[in-house]
Amino acid sequence: MGSTSQKHRNFVLESMGEKPVTDVAGIGETYGKRLTSQGFDKAYVLLGQFLVLKKNEDLFVEWLKMTCGATAHHATQCYKCLNDWCNAFL
């Protein structure tokens, strides 16, 4: 995983369940509200979009930037978090 935040490590350690989208690394309250308003209220819904984009980093990062105004840094954190979760559980 490399250097990751505590939020990232906590997310990747357990199954997704009904976690809110704000539990994903890189997604704070502001981005979370924007995503929720577009139907991405749960982490598993965001994971669905991640999988629809075939786990492609460039596509997902650009999608997240356009969808909720995330910075490239935060969008990349989110990508890495979901990718690491997939590597652990899928």
Quick check: helix, strand or coil at residue 4? coil
Note the pLDDT of residue 4.
Answer: 84
Domains of the chain: 6-89 (1.10.150.40)
Note the pLDDT of residue 1.
Answer: 44
> Do residues 56 and 42 touch, judged by C-beta distance below 8 A?
no
**85: nearest Cα among 30, 44, 29:** 44
Burial class (CB in 10 A: 0-12, 13-18, 19+), 13: exposed
pLDDT 10s digits, 24-51 = 999 999 999 999 999 999 999 999 999 9
